[in-house]
A and B are shown apart, each in its own frame.
Chain A
């Protein structure tokens, strides 16, 4: 290789390295989620994770995906957390491979839960001047019969934050805040689920003992 060619290759490499630094900060949320310590409800629940849920990612809505400062992918962690949580909350959970709908009938599950992430927002110390990374999420849940008839629908928020720490990168801090938000979502769901009037009515219909239903 001549010295001119070598210089050209070196220049191209430098340009590539410079361009690689121009993209958004990407975080694929990764965490360990514990099972809930709770007496399970004596029911078999079906759960349907739609594509919008399993592939959920967030980026600044005012810009395109590639222009956004951050792209936070939560889908895999969402499925992992909700799988774990629901498996502890109900005696049995069946993850469906197709959505509930007209014409489908099965006595295997009492109802089907469909979670949606409606909104996700983040705040970094650079935005707020507070040395805390924060993530908010808003969920919408549908509880439907196997053939798709609505039983209950409700929304729920969750919040996670983590302080800045020495030798902790922005990506690590955003990941930790997202994990905290997911843990908070689980805590909120457990404390809220049996308090929703439409869910309470459904649980009574299913013969769940009244002491398992929070007044």
Chain B
């Protein structure tokens, strides 16, 4: 066994130690899937921001979009902020359509219809949910000589993706994902965070299902 193999093994072992476990579940219900893929049409993923006590994180929306485009480069996912600015003020929390039937009313405005045509928008995906920190425990004390103690905390992620077919103005699917995990931080002089990638697991879960729906290759 050569030295570089042992070094690689050591790095892998260290990396696996620095990430904690996450459990996640995904429920999916879709119909009218585009069997040939979406061609040169585009998709936009938007976060729902109607609730007063949480907000779908823009980072999570971007993560799901990146997951889709990194696995199938032929799918064009429009950036959320770019879309919101281009269609301002029709997709702000106050004015965004709540039901697919509201799209028709929106398209009655000539500049909106022209913009949608230029964007070649085929699917609009709403993401609703958030990741919250749950109960924590432990204590840590830090001084000039370093930190000592142990801390642990959990994260729960719950998201729902609703797919609207923009051309047919109908809902064509829903994907739910939930993930939870416990993070740890032991400290003997130096604190070592062992973070559970809860939001990342939820992003992968929902991204995989959306990829199956949108891509002809999956």
Contact = CB atoms under 8 A, between A and B. Distances in A.
A5 to B, nearest CB: 30
Nearest to A128: B53
A37 B53 contact: no
Contacts of A187: 88-89, 92, 94-95
Q: Which of A34, A162, A186, A188 has the most CB of B within 10 A?
A: A34
Given A34-B85, A183-B88, A39 B93 contact: no
A39 B55 contact: no
B57 interface: yes
- The secondary-structure label for the interface of chain A is mixed
Interface in B11-60: 49, 52-55, 57, 59
A37 B95 contact: no
* Interface size, B (range): 20 to 34
B8 interface: no
Interface stretch (B108-116, B138-146, B169-177): B108-116
A186 B87 CA distance: 13
Given A187-B92, A187-B95, A190-B89, A37 B55 contact: no
Interface string A133-175: 0000000000000000000000000000111010000000000
Contacts of A34: 85-86, 88
A37 B112 contact: yes
A191 B52 CA distance: 21
Contacts of B93: 184
Given A37-B86, A183-B88, A188 B94 contact: yes
21 contacts: A34-B86, A34-B88, A37-B88, A37-B90, A37-B112, A38-B111, A39-B110, A132-B55, A161-B52, A161-B55, A163-B57, A165-B57, A184-B94, A186-B88, A187-B89, A187-B92, A187-B94, A190-B89, A190-B95, A191-B89, A191-B94
Interface of B: 49, 52-55, 57, 59, 85-90, 92-95, 109-112, 115, 130
